[in-house]
Amino acid sequence: MRILMVTSFPIPGDYDGTAMLPIKIMRALKPRGVDVVVAYLHARPPWGVTSESGDFEGTPIYRLPPAAWASGLGLKRIAREQPFDLVHAQHYGGATRAYLACRRYGWPMVYEIHSLLGEEVERDHLGRGLVFLAYQALERRVFRHAAAVIALGEPVKEVVIAEKGVPADRVRVIYPGIDLGEYDAPGEPALIPGVGPEHKVVMYVGSIVHPNQGVPILVKALPRVFAAVPEARCVLVGGPVEAGATYRAQLGANGDRLIVLAGQTPRQVVALTRRADVLVHPRLACRENYSVQSKIAVYLAAGRPIVATDFGDYQQLLGTTGAGLLTPVASGPLAEAVIKVLGDPALAARLAAATGPVAREYFAMDRNIDRYIDLYHRAIAAGPR
């Protein structure tokens, strides 16, 4: 079997969850005998006409300009050079840009939804103009004809079935996977500037500016945490650095207790999370967060106590399992939960002990890849709708 993975972002690219997910899938498919070819369907410059090819970790990578993917000829060329059985489209960008070629040539598409188009917290800022409307129109066609749809959360699955009209048997929830071996391997906690052995570390990993992640809620909670636990320090593992400076200014006299580490590699994140006394995800209650982000896979794999806001699948993944302490989406309850975990070693130990089984069941890539391969076989057999 050979899969054409199509994206609207470069591979390799940023170390964020969106860009890393197809890389993790690609790496896990190879040992299972599934070949992968990647097509990056870029939109800028819109007048670009030159296609390029290369490789990443031995995987062929094609970089197609708008003229090549809009006409379908670029993807047709890939099919001649690297015959594939199925198109796995990442994010709405990959799905909408590959749609016309898939329809023209009868290739089955599996559409993996990273987040619901139009439901982004910053959508009004991003715009709802002609480009957005074109994406929406094409995505409606993708939902109408896709051989299968992958949702990163149960609420997304419900939306796809109830609002987008996709038959239930064509929709599958697969959470963003992670290589647990990176966390199981022995290693020392990272040394963090401004953090000594006497300090208790409240840590967040991920973008510190995307509105849906709720970092301002955590920052607002910190004065109460610092007052109750003077030895506490907060470490934000993510960027950009300028946002960190803004947060420190908001904290006033407590600003020096906030450390921001931007530009960290996945390997560095593993070591950093080992130093966390509590990992926090204060995400907002919004439809953009119907999808489960990869950071919770990182948190669970790290085996540290987790405090998170109670929304979407977190009740199932963290609340019911005992792997996390859930709070309302507000700074006060979040602060109290962090203080509780930092001050109760028995509670912290119980939360940490519950993370491993959840990580292995829902996020271990060696299990998730079985789910992907099973879905590929079903999508190929069913074909486009």
Could you read off the pLDDT of 279-312 as tens digits, one per residue? 999 999 999 999 999 999 999 999 999 999 999 9
Calculate what percentage of the chain has a pLDDT beyond 90.
91
- 385 band by pLDDT with thresholds 50, 70 and 90: confident
CA–CA distances in Å: residue 192 to residues 186, 237, 341: 19, 11, 21
Confidence check: pLDDT of 56 > 80 = yes
pLDDT given at position 47: 87
- pLDDT tens sequence across 337-357: 999 999 999 999 999 999 999
With tokens 């790290």, the residue in question is 302
Confidence check: pLDDT of 15 > 70 = no
Confidence check: pLDDT of 168 > 90 = yes
Q: What mean pLDDT is predicted for residues 260-278? A: 95
From CA 321, how far away is CA 312, in angstroms rounded?
14
pLDDT given at position 17: 66
- pLDDT tens sequence across 145-159: 999 999 999 999 999
CA–CA distances in Å: residue 11 to residues 18, 21, 26: 11, 10, 11
Mean pLDDT (the chain, rounded): 95
- 219 band by pLDDT with thresholds 50, 70 and 90: very high
Confidence check: pLDDT of 217 > 70 = yes
pLDDT given at position 337: 98
